[in-house]
Structure 1
Amino acid sequence: MYSGTEAHWLQGYPALENLDDPAWRVALQKFEIMDVPTETTVFRPGDPCSYLLFLVKGDVRVYMSGDNGREIVLSHLKGGDLCILTLTTLLQTSDYSASAVTETPICAARLPVADFRKAFASSMGFQDFILSTLARRMHDTLFLLQEVAFERLEMRLACFLLRQRNGYDNCAVEMTHQQIACELGTTREMISRILKDLERRGCVRLSRKRVELADTSRLENINHGPTRNI
């Protein structure tokens, strides 16, 4: 339906690629394409929100930091994702409350806030896309809160390792204990303690910046069954 630079990024957003109404066509002309190198801060707490970001390609980590220096990862964005934190910040007319940093070089399409508000008010199709995205990501956030609040850390760690392993042949997770701790919203010391216990029980083998899954069946049992206190 669209051509040139428009089609370049819309291919990752089928609902928008197939959208055709006057208000959306006007908004489409307002998008700006941006390329950002790796390890670049996209936004941080207190920054004003001036654009709605659509990630075309690359990886972005969105996280919050506490006063004690601990971090928790809120989401990992990939090509075809809409930054939900940017969206909620725009809808609330507030400043950012978390940080985002590029993990790889990225390409993104951004829509200025004034043009976003016009499109959201005038294009029913764009409004449906925004609201459905918001509802889907809210479900993901509630799932994260449920994990943090109700599941034991050993179970969450086992689940995380099984999800993150690099394929089924080598069964390894290439991450430091600190990186895993940030993903799970806890301390490096707690992760190291549990990993050491899992290694003693034959579930994993530890080396520098690497956790090898020695017995995935045992990890599956931890993930799905009751766990012992650590």
Structure 2
Amino acid sequence: MSLTVHACIPQIISLFPCLSDISEQDWSIKGIEVLEISPNFVFHEGQFLEHAVMLLEGTVRMYKISSSGREITLYRINGGECCPLMTSSILGESEYEASACIEKPCRALLIPVSTFRDWMDKYRNFRQFMFKSFANRIIIMSNLLDSIHFKSIRGRIAEYLIQSADGSGNVMITHDRLSIELGTAREVISRTLKMLEKDELILLSRGKISIIDHKALEHYLES
């Protein structure tokens, strides 16, 4: 067991109680480590994983890029979470089906894939946590697909702004970034935002969108 991992075990178990059953012997397996990862590091889709990653601190954005080059955010992973696509890739011995970008400095527990599979077989609580995480993300992905296929772009923008606004009703985001978050063309985003501004629902400024009429914006949530 490395000193780094040993020192982090209290934090690891506080964030992932499912790991409290792991034996001293299993914590000592070669290849288990805690790693600091800087922002903007990218793990690209299509690679085979050598480690399972359980996030202790920071934020990772999961996204897909279409054959045409359009990018869409799938979801984010924060401290105390792990990626279900990771579990699927490891257990299925298949390529990773998304890309991951470090948004905030991360500290992560890395577990060799062979050890991860052994722990899935050996520890019931660990296995249940992984499958529960998988089920929760399926719901998130289902909601994303529903939003893309059944909601208008006005409704999707309104939902994003309402969910992301700070206490003053401001969202610090560019049109380019919003187009990536919602998986649509920048021109569509800019045109729709200008229409919402014309209707006096929002106010646009460089790198910032301010909600002016929160109640009116909510009317688009079901559209």
Under a length normalisation based on structure 1, what TM-score does the superposition of the two structures give? 0.89
2:202 touches 2:210 (CA, 8 Å); kept in 1? Answer: yes
For residues 40 and 160 of structure 1, the distance between their equivalents in structure 2, rounded to whole angstroms, comes to 25
Query: How do residues 111-150 of structure 1 correspond to structure 2 at under 5 angstroms?
Result: 111-150=111-150
SS of residue in 2 equivalent to 1:117: helix
Instruction: Name the counterpart of 1:6.
Output: 9
SS of residue in 2 equivalent to 1:162: helix
1:155 touches 1:222 (CA, 8 Å); kept in 2? Answer: yes
For residues 190 and 68 of structure 2, the distance between their equivalents in structure 1, rounded to whole angstroms, comes to 19
For residues 210 and 27 of structure 2, the distance between their equivalents in structure 1, rounded to whole angstroms, comes to 47
For residues 149 and 88 of structure 1, the distance between their equivalents in structure 2, rounded to whole angstroms, comes to 25
Of 211, 214, 217, which residue of structure 2 is paired with 1:213?
211
1:52 touches 1:83 (CA, 8 Å); kept in 2? Answer: no
Q: Kindly provide the amino acid, as one letter, of the partner of residue 194 in structure 1.
A: T
RMSD value over aligned CA atoms? Answer: 1.7
Report whether the alignment pairs 1:91 with 2:91.
yes
Give 5+ residue unaligned stretches, structure 2.
Answer: 1-5
Instruction: Name the counterpart of 1:67.
Output: 67
Q: Kindly provide the amino acid, as one letter, of the partner of residue 94 in structure 2.
A: S
Q: Kindly provide the amino acid, as one letter, of the partner of residue 160 in structure 1.
A: Y
For residues 7 and 62 of structure 1, the distance between their equivalents in structure 2, rounded to whole angstroms, comes to 27
1:166 touches 1:172 (CA, 8 Å); kept in 2? Answer: yes
Q: Kindly provide the amino acid, as one letter, of the partner of residue 15 in structure 1.
A: C
Cα 1:26–1:73 change in 2 (3 A) is: farther
Q: Displacement of 1:26 after TM fit? A: 4.1
Instruction: Name the counterpart of 1:191.
Output: 189
Task: List structure 1 segments (4+ residues) > 6 angstroms apart after TM superposition.
Answer: none
For residues 174 and 143 of structure 1, the distance between their equivalents in structure 2, rounded to whole angstroms, comes to 24
Q: Kindly provide the amino acid, as one letter, of the partner of residue 69 in structure 2.
A: G
Instruction: Name the counterpart of 1:28.
Output: 27
For residues 205 and 7 of structure 2, the distance between their equivalents in structure 1, rounded to whole angstroms, comes to 48
For residues 127 and 59 of structure 1, the distance between their equivalents in structure 2, rounded to whole angstroms, comes to 23
Instruction: Name the counterpart of 1:155.
Output: 155
For residues 79 and 101 of structure 1, the distance between their equivalents in structure 2, rounded to whole angstroms, comes to 15
Q: Displacement of 1:39 after TM fit? A: 0.9
For residues 34 and 77 of structure 2, the distance between their equivalents in structure 1, rounded to whole angstroms, comes to 17
Cα 1:21–1:112 change in 2 (3 A) is: closer
2:57 touches 2:79 (CA, 8 Å); kept in 1? Answer: yes
Q: Displacement of 1:173 after TM fit? A: 0.5
Cα offsets for 1:35-61 (capped at 9, x unmatched): 0111111x1022111111111101111
For residues 196 and 135 of structure 2, the distance between their equivalents in structure 1, rounded to whole angstroms, comes to 37
Of 160, 163, 177, which residue of structure 2 is paired with 1:179?
177
Q: Kindly provide the amino acid, as one letter, of the partner of residue 93 in structure 2.
A: T
For residues 7 and 68 of structure 1, the distance between their equivalents in structure 2, rounded to whole angstroms, comes to 45
SS of residue in 2 equivalent to 1:11: helix
For residues 133 and 99 of structure 1, the distance between their equivalents in structure 2, rounded to whole angstroms, comes to 18
Give 5+ residue unaligned stretches, structure 1.
Answer: none
Under a length normalisation based on structure 2, what TM-score does the superposition of the two structures give? 0.91
